[in-house]
Amino acid sequence: MRDSPSNLAEVARLFLRLGFTAFGGPAAHLGLMHDEIVRRRQWLTDQEFLDLIGATNLIPGPNSTEMAIHIGFRRAGWPGLIVGGACFIMPAMLIVLMLAWVYARFGATPEAGWLLYGIKPVVIAVIVQALWSLGRKAVKGVLTGTVAAAVIVLYFLGANEIALLFGGGAVVMLVANRHRLRGKALGVLLLPVSGVAAVAPASASASFGLPMLFLTFLKIGAVLYGSGYVLLAFLRADFVVRLGWLTDQQLMDAIAVGQVTPGPLFTSATFIGYILGGVPGALLATLGIFLPSFIFVAISNPLIPRLRKSAWLGGLLDGVNVASLGLMAAVAWQLGWASLIDPLTILVAIASLVLLLRFRINSTWLVLGGACVGLLGAALR
């Protein structure tokens, strides 16, 4: 039964483990989730997993966290929705809270370069494996293949990633349903989607308060589309420019901590909340930025099967799916360029990919093995 206690315990164990080991950002998180949920546990098919990716890209918030919430709901009902998301967020929140405590007392955070040196090549292999598996489902013909290739090219030319997602969805939807248009002129389709916060004019510093802290993060969580760079823009507009509660250096430190710890980058909110208001501030900031995701998933999850059944909205979902994979491939290329920096990291990536594809080794063990390689490399230097 979907909402049985055993299913709920499975969801909790899986996402707690992923919360401690999911390094590398959303693309890597999706790769790890695909390995665990589709390949190993078979809770979802590739197509169902793709549709959930597409659905998370249609709503604001952190995509990988919303995937955990969606999958928890699919596997264990309403309790799973809460447990899946909370268990994925909690490990990162606790780690960031610890680093924020160190930062507040010593003015610096521990170095994690040695750890990421060995983990990043494994992450590249996990993403490549997921792209190969999901791409065979998402690329359904010349149209979707062309859209995927165009998204990759346009991404590297600097196009806005949210415009690419919705634009790819619109192109597939319209071309696939062109026979339903009955010759009507379409004109030019404009998608007024913006992934950058409007920067508020500079104002005098406002006095700090926990309710304002919570409401500011709640607003950000409710409207933010896009990558960590977009999150940086929102945080700077509110906390540095409008409220004057943070310096630019403190903000960059918060983003850096979110990047070097496992789990969602949005746990940078935990760091900021602690710096400004101690443990109560950290908890309220974390709740504020993630709460909208739970609400959006609760509203949208029951609609996904209806989207798939509609010819128009199914086409939109197919387009968003393939555009998502195009962006994931582009990010994987960028991560690979930055991570595969010497013969050892290249060897780790190749070995990880072989172990994933040929022997179906659990990706969590590979991540831990990569961490050991990084530790050994640091010791030998």
Selection from 192, 273, 283, 189 nearest residue 238 by Cα: 273
Mean pLDDT of 261-287: 92
Q: Residue 61: CA atoms inside 13 Å, Cβ hemisphere, count?
A: 30
What is the model's pLDDT at position 330?
Answer: 85
Q: Quote the pLDDT of residue 122.
A: 85
pLDDT at 150: 94
Q: Encode pLDDT of 128-151 as tens digits.
A: 888 888 888 888 889 999 999 999
The answer on pLDDT for 181 being more than 80 is no
Residue 194 binned pLDDT confidence (cut-offs 50, 70, 90): very low
Lowest mean pLDDT among 84-93, 154-163, 263-272, 346-355: 154-163
- Reply yes or no on whether the pLDDT at 371 is more than 50: yes
pLDDT score at 143: 92
Residues 118 and 123: their CA atoms lie apart, in Å, by 9
Q: Calculate the average pLDDT of the chain.
A: 83
CA atoms within 13 A on the CB side of 8: 11
What confidence category does residue 63 fall into, taking pLDDT thresholds of 50, 70 and 90? confident
DSSP3 helix / strand / coil % (the chain, rounded to 5): 80, 0, 20
Return the pLDDT at 193: 41
Q: Domain coordinates of the chain in residue numbers?
A: 5-193+297-380
| pLDDT band (50, 70, 90) for residue 202 | very low
Amino acid 192: pLDDT:
41
Q: What percent of the chain has pLDDT over 90?
A: 33
Looking at residue 258, its pLDDT comes to 78
Q: How many CB atoms lie within 10 A of CB 119?
A: 27
Greater model confidence, 123 or 333: 333
Can you say whether the dihedral through the CA atoms of 26, 65, 44, 316 is positive or negative? negative
Q: What separation in angstroms does the CA of 283 have from each of 258, 274, 298?
A: 16, 8, 22
Instruction: Between 250 and 299, name the one with better pLDDT.
Output: 299
Report which of residues 188 and 210 the model is more confident about. 210
Could you tell me the end-to-end alpha-carbon distance of the chain, in angstroms, rounded to an integer? 53
State residue 228's pLDDT score.
Answer: 56
Cα–Cα distance for residue pair 86/83, rounded to 1 Å = 5
Residue 108 has pLDDT above 70, yes or no: no
Residue 210 and residue 278 in contact, taking contact as beta carbons nearer than 8 Å: no
In the numeric block, the tokens 């950290």 are attached to 282
Please write down the long-range contacts of 189-195, taking CB distance under 8 Å and 24 or more positions apart: 191/163, 191/166, 191/167, 193/160, 193/162, 193/163, 193/166, 193/225, 194/160, 194/162, 195/160, 195/161, 195/162, 195/163, 195/224, 195/225, 195/226, 195/227, 195/230
**DSSP, res 158:** T
Average pLDDT over residues 342-354: 91
User: What pLDDT, on the 0 to 100 scale, is given for residue 213?
Assistant: 95
Amino acid in position 317: L
Range in 14-18, 219-223, 258-262, 298-302 the model is least confident about: 258-262
Q: Is the pLDDT of residue 187 over 70?
A: no
pLDDT digits (tens, 9 = 90+) for 228-246: 556 777 888 889 888 899 9
Cβ neighbours around 29 below 10 Å, total: 28
pTM value surpassing 0.85:
no
